[in-house]
Chain A
Amino acid sequence: MSFVAQIFSGIAIGCIYGLVAIGFSMIYRAMGLVNFAQAEFMMIGAFFGYSVLTAFPEMPFLAVLAIACAGTAVLGVVLERIAFRPAIRRGASDIYLVLLTLGIGMVLSNGARLIWGANPVVYQIPLAHDITRLAGYPLPTMYFYILAFMVLLLVILQWFFTKSWTGLALRAVAEDRKTAQLMGVDAGFASSFSFAIASAIGAAAGVLYAPIIYVSFDMGAVGIKAFAAAVMGGFGSIAGAVVGGVGLGVVEMVGGQLLAPEYQDSVAFAVMILVLLLRPNGLIGKGIAK
């Protein structure tokens, strides 16, 4: 495996971390909530995609992606409504909310095991085996899809948060909930909407990742690293999530190769702790005002 190919796969995996990390950051910004179940949305999204593919094997990949995102977004909104919103309204403490998200994550991953079984499943699509040559190096075509999606998503999010009314309203609520409400923004809608987008982005990460790896109920473990990515980049910042994700992906690939592959996860977290010690607010971002 050449160095270039390694870097490139690091970037691709990093984009997956980044996508999940964007979800973490969005919900944090909108609700001040660290949602540990975010990674499980990615897993659920991948399984939704699998179910769609099993039912309609001929369906184009992009349609599968869209359906999985929509389904997971609905799930996200439902959870926000029945679990998080009542707890926040009751003024539950930070620790309580974190535990709640952990509980929901556990129920989602073990629920998925109940529904789809404990054995990993594979996406039976030609895309999973396609190889593209980049300057002579063979790389899975999926990597290019992931990169393209990431760029597209960033452009859309940038437009959404700076130009669209809904995006501006979300930012207003994130900035100052009470004032935004006085200005006529529905804060409840804003948090549901944030959950919907965050879940959908998480699901997209799952579906994009699925052709490269096996889909299983415990693939949410990837989300742990996505979390580290979000923290490294600067929690709550979308650009930070992407930078942290890609950075982590590359560092992990290179570090794993230098040490030993079984230390890959340790490298990720050691780097995260190091970054936090040197720059407590993350690489990008002003940190969390609290």
Chain B
Amino acid sequence: MSTPTPIPPDERPRQQWLVAALVLGCIWILPFVLGGFWLYLGAIIACYAVASLGLQLMVGLAGQLSLGHIAFVGIGAYTGVLLEKELGVPFIVASIGAALLAGFFGLLMAQLIRLSGVYFKIATFGFGIICYQLLHNLKGLTGGSFGISGIPPLEILGVDFSTPAGVFTVSAVFLTVTYVLFLRMTNSRVGRAFQALGQNEPAARSIGIPVERYKMAVITVGCIAAGWAGALIPHIYQYLSPENFTWHESLVLLIMITIGGHGSLAGAVIGTALLIIIPEYMRDLAEYKMLVYGLLLIVSMTLLPKGIAGGVDAIVGRLRARSSKPVQEVA
């Protein structure tokens, strides 16, 4: 990919926080204004956005392409639900447990980073498929293809959040927390190391970044986010089935971050919202959802290689260059 747009370093974080406030503001306000079905849709968007933010950190920032990310959402979902339903653990604790277990499996998978490049992709892919098959076949634990129903009501500290507005609020809080943490992280020392890793691994190694350790860290963090998001999924759908975690869903997550903008946190959220809203308007054509997704992916890569966020960046950059005439030359 071409070189990133040079933005003066002191300006970049401020701009990112503004964008974050804008994106999160839309997510928070719109479903409440539109109401009804949008609360449900908003919850799904916020929940998947948490997972896609994790993937964005891994793929877009640190360049570790995972083709099985949905597996970690699945691990989180089943862990959360089983903890709540079978052991009666409160939701918050269960969601943290789900996140940690997903992170643990992510760390396990990250051991495979010794397989670099092509081999890592394949390993993540294989991991995703094995996970799906386990969810499908461990009938005693997961209910097999029948899935799990009778999800306990969403309750936090004794307050009932099981209404559509309640579920949405919790999802939006999850998203806000993840987004803010990740934004802080990307602008920190660690985040810059991740970026260096994503842009040029040998160069990162040569300036003394312990590449292996950072790879493992970013994969674990990405998987923790996926697991945390997973804990919410059963509460939104009121039902859990392995079919939510096929490898196509991993692809959908990848398309979300790609269409939104490679490496952009705001882009990940926007891409997620788009890919969840679009199918709602083509219900009659549900069979061709994946065809549309595939075409979207190809078209966005041809016309907008940096995704929506990259496109907006370019427009803003051009406008700014025009308004403030003596352009500061950035090497």
Q: Is the CB of A103 within 8 A of B297?
A: yes
Listed stretches A111-119, A139-147, A205-213; interface member: A111-119
Which single residue of chain B is at the shortest CB-CB distance from A103? B297
Query: How far, in whole Å, are A3 and B119 apart by their CA atoms in the complex?
Result: 33
Q: Is the CB of B122 within 8 A of A272?
A: yes
Q: Is the CB of A113 within 8 A of B112?
A: no
Listed stretches A91-99, A122-130, A168-176; interface member: A91-99
Within 8 Å by CB of B119, from A99, A231, A262, A269, lies A231
Judge whether A104 is part of the interface by a CB distance below 8 angstroms: yes
Chain A residues with CB under 8 Å of chain B are: 28, 34, 83, 86-87, 90-96, 98-100, 102-107, 109-111, 113-114, 118, 224, 227-228, 231, 235, 260, 262-263, 265-266, 269-270, 272-273, 276-277, 280, 288, 290
Judge whether B134 is part of the interface by a CB distance below 8 angstroms: yes
Q: Is the CB of B258 within 8 A of A110?
A: no
Judge whether B203 is part of the interface by a CB distance below 8 angstroms: no
Which single residue of chain A is at the shortest CB-CB distance from B299? A103
- Measured CB to CB, the closest approach of chain A to B242, in angstroms, equals 12
Which single residue of chain B is at the shortest CB-CB distance from A118? B287
- Measured CB to CB, the closest approach of chain A to B5, in angstroms, equals 16
Give the chain B neighbours of A224 by CB distance below 8 A: 125, 129, 247
Q: Mark B98-141, 1 if CB is under 8 A from A, else 0.
A: 00000000000000101101110111011101100110110000
Q: Is the CB of B305 within 8 A of A273?
A: no
Listed stretches B79-87, B274-282, B288-296, B318-326; interface member: B288-296
Q: Is the interface of B mostly helix, strand, loop or mixed?
A: helix
Query: How far, in whole Å, are A113 and B133 apart by their CA atoms in the complex?
Result: 24
Query: How far, in whole Å, are A262 and B130 apart by their CA atoms in the complex?
Result: 11
Q: Is the CB of B297 within 8 A of A106?
A: yes
Give the chain A neighbours of B262 by CB distance below 8 A: 95-96
- Measured CB to CB, the closest approach of chain B to A107, in angstroms, equals 4
Q: Is the CB of B119 within 8 A of A276?
A: yes
Give the chain B neighbours of A109 by CB distance below 8 A: 290
Within 8 Å by CB of B115, from A87, A106, A276, A290, lies A276
Q: Is the CB of A83 within 8 A of B298?
A: yes
Give the chain A neighbours of B136 by CB distance below 8 A: 262
Within 8 Å by CB of A103, from B126, B298, B305, lies B298
Judge whether B92 is part of the interface by a CB distance below 8 angstroms: no
Within 8 Å by CB of B59, from A86, A95, A107, A111, lies A95
Query: How far, in whole Å, are A263 and B63 apart by their CA atoms in the complex?
Result: 32
Give the chain A neighbours of B137 by CB distance below 8 A: 260, 262-263, 266
Judge whether B93 is part of the interface by a CB distance below 8 angstroms: no
Judge whether B330 is part of the interface by a CB distance below 8 angstroms: no
Q: Is the CB of B65 within 8 A of A102?
A: no
Give the chain A neighbours of B133 by CB distance below 8 A: 262-263, 265-266
Q: Is the CB of A113 within 8 A of B287?
A: yes
Given A118-B287, A266-B130, CB of A231 within 8 Å of CB of B258: no
- Measured CB to CB, the closest approach of chain A to B259, in angstroms, equals 10
Give the chain A neighbours of B295 by CB distance below 8 A: 103, 107
Q: Is the CB of A98 within 8 A of B65?
A: yes
Q: Is the CB of B121 within 8 A of A106?
A: no
Q: Is the CB of A288 within 8 A of B117?
A: yes
Give the chain B neighbours of A276 by CB distance below 8 A: 112, 115, 119, 122-123
Within 8 Å by CB of A99, from B127, B287, B288, B301, lies B301
Judge whether B170 is part of the interface by a CB distance below 8 angstroms: no
Query: How far, in whole Å, are A280 and B112 apart by their CA atoms in the complex?
Result: 10
Q: Is the CB of A104 within 8 A of B117?
A: no
Given contacts A96-B1, A103-B298, A107-B298, 7 further A-B contacts (CB under 8 A): A91-B2, A106-B291, A111-B291, A114-B288, A262-B137, A265-B133, A273-B127
Give the chain A neighbours of B115 by CB distance below 8 A: 276-277, 280
A-B contacts, 30 of them at CB < 8 A, read A34-B118, A83-B298, A91-B1, A93-B1, A94-B65, A96-B1, A96-B301, A98-B65, A98-B121, A99-B258, A99-B297, A100-B301, A103-B294, A106-B293, A107-B294, A110-B288, A110-B290, A113-B288, A118-B287, A227-B125, A235-B119, A265-B129, A266-B134, A269-B126, A270-B130, A272-B122, A276-B119, A277-B115, A288-B117, A290-B117
Give the chain A neighbours of B122 by CB distance below 8 A: 227-228, 231, 272, 276
Most buried by B among A34, A93, A263: A93
Which single residue of chain A is at the shortest CB-CB distance from B131? A266
- Measured CB to CB, the closest approach of chain A to B193, in angstroms, equals 19
- Measured CB to CB, the closest approach of chain A to B143, in angstroms, equals 15
Q: Is the CB of B126 within 8 A of A228?
A: yes
Q: Is the CB of A92 within 8 A of B298?
A: no
Q: Is the CB of B294 within 8 A of A272?
A: no
Judge whether B254 is part of the interface by a CB distance below 8 angstroms: yes
Q: Is the CB of A95 within 8 A of B65?
A: yes
Q: Is the CB of A269 within 8 A of B129?
A: yes
Q: Is the CB of B118 within 8 A of A280?
A: no
Query: How far, in whole Å, are A290 and B127 apart by their CA atoms in the complex?
Result: 24
Judge whether B23 is part of the interface by a CB distance below 8 angstroms: no
Which single residue of chain B is at the shortest CB-CB distance from A93? B1
